[in-house]
Structure 1
Amino acid sequence: TPDMEKFPGASAVINPWHLPLINTAILISSSFTITLAHHALKAGRRSATILWHGLTILLGIIFLSFQIAEYVEAYQELGLTLHSGIYGATFFMLTGFHGVHVTLGTLMLIIIWLRVLKGHFTPDNHFGYEAVAWYWHFVDVVWVGLFLFVYVF
């Protein structure tokens, strides 16, 4: 049929127990590291804040790198594209929007980390830091939902 020519469908779906599961572990770990950084900031332990926060940034960058690798695999090996039916379009729309938010969150984390390095926050005055941490937790929770509903179910 003409619709089948326009939307040929993917040859396979992405295995949720490979890169998606690794990325889920990475983002859940990053929630712990940003929480440890925040607690260190509230306790006045600047070097621990810098360390844990830097690790959170690294985990965000690793997540994005794996997401890119997954997209390459989807396109090249599975035939999963924006034009491969509702699954492909939904997959790339949901994971792509999430990836944009992770990218924005990682940039926010980098900016806040630079501010920590400059001593802009104190244990009692760090709302900007908390706001970025809340955003990061939100991005992490959304990913858990995406993992379940896009990859597993």
Structure 2
Amino acid sequence: MKWKGRGSYTVEGTVIISLICLMTGMVILLGFYGHDRAVMQSTADELSIYGSLWAGRYMQPEIREIDYERMKQNGTADFSEIEEMGSRMLQGRLFCGQLQSIRAAQSLSGREMLIEIQTDFQLGKYEIPCTVKASALIFRSRDLPRKNEKDQEEQAHES
């Protein structure tokens, strides 16, 4: 009878330890998911800002200088450069996510830059699709407030 009493602690201990290990593993995987999600969101936010500058002021995202040739031609921005930049930014930074696609586009009104990043998270044998979106307003150079000559002359007389 004493022998059965001592063995029950072993059985209960294995069940409790295995549950603790399972919960610890799940917390670690949840942390990896949270990390990948945060990295994707920060990348999407950064890309939307680069895209808004590229679309509004012709500031080339790679060299971060104004592309005067494109501005003279009044051409539209090619967002494939933004998408390639995003895939380079995410390369090697995701723990358990596989990058599926990055899509950069302007809104229908043309006033907003939209970025969408899609990944598949591999948690064990399960795949969880995830989509992160970001947007930024496009400020065109001609839309920014400017002082006209009368205001500049008045300020010169006041000083």
TM tier, shorter chain?
0.3 to 0.5
For normalisation by structure 1, the TM-score amounts to 0.32
The structure whose Rg is larger is 2
Query: Which has more helix, going by share of residues?
Result: 1
For normalisation by structure 2, the TM-score amounts to 0.31
With a CA cutoff of 8 Å and minimum separation of 6, indicate the structure with the bigger relative contact order.
1
